[in-house]
Structure 1
Amino acid sequence: MVATIAFSSAKSTILQNPVVVRRDPSCSFFGGSLKLKGLCVQPRARNKSGDGLSLVVAASANANITNTNSSSSNGGTFYFNITGFPFPLGPFLRRRTIRTEAVKGCIWLLEQEQALGFSSVSTNIRMTVIKLKSGGLWIHAPIAPTKECIQLVKELGAPVEYIVLPTFAYEHKIFVGPFSRKFPRAQVWVAPRQWSWPLNLPLEFFGIFRSKTLKDEDLSSPWADEIEQKVLSSPEVGIGPYVEVAFYHKPSRTLLITDAVIFVPRKPPECISKESLLASAKNGLAVKILSKGKEVPNEPVVDNKMNRQKGWERMVLQILFLGPSNLLEPNATFAQMSQKLIVSPIVKTLVFSKVPEKVRDWIDRITRDWRFKRIIPAHFAAPINANRSTFLAAFAFLDDLLGESYITRPTLSLLFTSLMGKAASYFPPDDMKTLSSLDEFLVSVGAVKKTVSGRKR
């Protein structure tokens, strides 16, 4: 979960978030100043403008295909991004972009590192680009529009026609406005029921203007002949609804998902820096707290494959469980959670378990109508070779929450996916303690709901 603050200048009437900064050649960053769209800001000065918080529940992602990346010079990766207290979304100054080709001549994936504030926890965030029959590009979940990122898009040699925000989640919403201004002729489409917490702010607050709303199974959308869509729009689970739009690219038989499922790869994504991995490999306070009473050595971390891997495993477990039972030796839990299609524990616990009927309807409609053979989520690994049975298996936990009268699939299919699901969604009980405690606390203060109709008591 990530809460964020966006900052604006005192002169602005509408916050356009994030703040995109260009360097003033007359001054350096440290000890000098930054020029923000004509304003020269001293680093010592504190911004006292209004702010907004956005609470999101999100998973994470990675690419496991051949890299076709171009240059990554420092000038091309600079992007000043302020999203603040208490969990700012880094990196704050530089974001390297990696481009890979998921489907030859048709679908490309662009990824950047996304860090949880000043912590050593990072993951990847993914933008998917599809080339339409018209020759234009359809952009799913934009990332930070660094000079490098925009150049990698332009190298595809086609105009950007559509920019799509498929979710309510802040980590994806934050870049839509700045990205769309790089391609002013593109149409912007957004998931319905956008909201922010604690104030329900309009899209203009995030720099998103003249956008159109994505509708469920909309046959009138300009891309309907090639890309179909289904909206999951849940009742409020507490502070707001969960909204996500799934897309199906018919020519390539590809399912696009934002945060609903993930596939944790064994190796860290290329876009995550070695510095982040090694920082996570250090035995800090979190490791000492979650060491099960074992002695924690304070040895320096040497840059090698073993320590980078340890850093990645610790990152994953902190993202999935918030606080796993043992960060000192993460190997066993990581092995159980990786290399399989799952619903992230945090999304399952805090969201999907509250509205199982809505989620089941959405999943059933996706698997009934779309014969996909690969899945591209917005975090962790992609593309994932997966079919409808694999997808259903990841959501088998819903059958434990819903009564038998709600089952709509054939018995053999239900049995198959349930058996697969128990293996694919295994969450070690000890590692779930922190997340379960958080859920109980949020329920006790009324931040999330305990039950909804249709669940087993």
Structure 2
Amino acid sequence: MSDDELANILEQINPKDFTWSFWFTLPLYPYSKRRTLRQEIIKDTIWTFDQMQGIFYVIVPIRMTVVKLDEGGLFVYAPVAPTPECIRLVNELVAEHGDVKYIILPTISGLEHKVFVGPFARCFPHAQVFVAPNQWSFPLNLPLSWLGLPPKRTYILPADSSQTPFADQFDYAILDTIDLGSGKFAEVAFLHKRSHTLLVTDSIISVPENPPAIIQLDPYALLFHAKDQAADIVVDNQANRRKGWHRITLFALYFRPSALEVPSWGGVLRDAFTAPEKSYKAYFGLFPFKWRHDWQRSFDALQGNGRLFVAPILQTLILNRAPRETINWANKVASWDFRWIIPCHFDAPIKAEPQQFRQAFSFLEKQPAVSPGLPEEDFKLLREIDAGLYKSGIVPQAQEKV
């Protein structure tokens, strides 16, 4: 998307259109203000709706996908915040292609997806809601109706995908519930047969070289992370936006990559006094980051020219608890005929073949055909977190590779 197109979008938006009043249920940046960008992926067939969210300006896209049904009507995968702007954009499709018929919650653990399903469903009172099996909540395991899902039209996705009213157009594969001790993880991948498009939630991603359009609508976070020190005044240009995006990606996927050094708090506080911006928005001048001169190498290795991979957090803390189940699920998905993948985060759509999807899970195999290629040194903090959680009895021990 060009700068002129982004400027045009900004001019047409009423700030009230992207207000999300229930932001406190999941208090993530940008809190009560969430913009939505709609993109047509396949003409008159598939659209994505991107919003953004994060912590401490570490922001990434969160995405809903809408598919036109053959008989008319719409299929919604992983709803986002139903702001007035978002619902208006959906209703534009409704006016042309028919009402929302099905709403899918494809995960059981991702609060950033679950929290929007009930409010979104209330905007479309005739839609049936289908959710991944074995839903749970913390600290109390509450009924789905108590979580805001409409009780009279909410259904559990059956193990057999042929038993759903959309079986002629979609197949799906459920990654069996992975026990994480204090919680669970599961995901449901959907195949839209006619367009040869795979819809996934968190399991697979591809990182774009440039910041996504939704992130560039408000570049403050990009420029904040483009700083090298608290005293920097960063010029708003594409080079600095790209620099900030690369660092945000490393934060989001590794927490603390090897290229990042954490300075002493004494030094951070001293630097804050000389920072040119000391507002609340700028965290009062606090900038507790120090990047090594070769930090770009970590991003380049992670991004890998846009290749498919499993997020390091999932590799280290979740999927390694059930390698056999995950490989079986990946094999089933890879048996489908798809040419495009639309994840709920980072880049989309991704042009990819089934073998590329399957290859991304080779980190779970003792002798993978191809190495995933992510630098082991960048996993250091995640390995320490994993060991600490296991030692504390919070999560079960990781299983051996298959």
Alignment pair present for 1:336 and 2:301: yes
3-state SS of 1:155 partner = helix
1:320-378 deviations in whole A, cap 9, x for unaligned? 1011122425311111111110000001111111100110111111122x111111100
Tell me which of 266, 271, 274 is aligned to 2:209: 266
| Aligned counterparts, 1:2-17, within 5 A | none
Change (3 A) 1:139 1:441: same
Q: Does 1:440 find its partner at 2:381?
A: no
Kindly state the Cα deviation for residue 195 of structure 1 after the two structures are TM-superposed: 1.2
Q: What is residue 322 of structure 2 aligned with on the other side? A: 355
Distance 2:192 2:181 in 1: 33
**2:344 & 2:131 partners in 1: Cα distance?**
16
Contact 2:364 2:401 in 1 (8 A): no
- Number of the residue aligned with 1:30: none
| 2:345 pairs with one of 379, 393, 400 | 379
CA shift in 2, pair 1:433/1:207, >3 Å: same
TM-score by length of 1: 0.74
Contact 1:215 1:231 in 2 (8 A): no
Q: Is the 8 A contact 2:78 2:113 kept in 1?
A: yes
Distance change in 2, residues 1:222/1:69 (3 Å): farther
Q: Relative to structure 1, is the Cα distance of residues 234 and 331 closer, same or farther in structure 2, using a 3 angstrom cutoff?
A: same
Moved over 3 A (4+): 66-71, 81-84
Distance 1:217 1:228 in 2: 9
State the SS of the aligned residue for 1:88.
coil
Contact 1:69 1:99 (C-alpha < 8 Å) held by counterparts: no
Residue type of the partner of 2:100? Answer: V
Conservation of the 8 A alpha-carbon contact between 2:121 and 2:150: no
Q: What's the secondary structure of 1:100's corresponding residue?
A: strand
Contact 1:108 1:129 in 2 (8 A): yes
Residues 1:333 and 1:436: Cα distance change in structure 2 (over 3 Å): same
Go from structure 1 to structure 2 and tell me whether the alpha carbon gap of 1:226 and 1:191 turns closer, same or farther (over 3 Å shift): same
Counterpart contact for 1:234–1:358, Cα < 8 Å = no
- State the partner residue of 1:278: 223
The answer as to whether partners of 1:113 and 1:123 remain within 8 angstroms in 2 is yes
Q: Aligned residue for 1:32?
A: none
| Counterpart-to-counterpart distance in 2, 1:265 and 1:184 | 36
User: Contact (CA 8 Å) 2:107, 2:188: kept in 1 or not?
Assistant: yes
How far, CA to CA, are the matches of 1:69 and 1:244 in structure 2?
34
Q: 1:239 touches 1:447 (CA, 8 Å); kept in 2?
A: yes
Match 2:36 to one of 86, 93, 97: 97
Structure 2 gaps of 5+ residues are: 261-290
Aligned to 1:308, what secondary structure does the other structure show?
helix
How far apart are residue 102 of structure 1 and its match? 0.9
Q: Which residue identity is paired with 1:326? A: A
Asked if residue 303 in structure 1 is aligned to residue 236 in structure 2, the reply is: yes
Q: Which whole-Å CA distance do the structure 2 matches of 1:188 and 1:306 have between them?
A: 43
Q: Counterparts of 1:189 and 1:69 in 2: how far apart (Å)? A: 33
Deviation for aligned residue 1:386? 0.5
Maintained 8 Å contact 2:178/2:321: no
SS in 2 for 1:125: strand
- For 1:138, what is the secondary structure of its paired residue? strand
Aligned CA distance change for structure 1 residues 190 and 299 (closer, same or farther; 3 Å): same
**Cα RMSD for the two superposed structures:** 2.1
Higher relative helix content? 2
Could you tell me which residue of structure 1 aligns to residue 99 of structure 2? 159
Structure 2 Cα separation of the partners of residues 205 and 261 of structure 1: 30
Q: Which amino acid aligns with 1:439?
A: D
Are the aligned partners of 2:316 and 2:383 in contact in 1 as well (CA < 8 Å)?
A: yes
Maintained 8 Å contact 2:178/2:186: no
Q: Within 1, Cα distance between the matches of 2:158 and 2:315?
A: 24
**Superposed displacement of residue 301, structure 1:** 2.0
| Equivalent-residue separation in structure 2 for 1:233 and 1:72 (angstroms) | 42
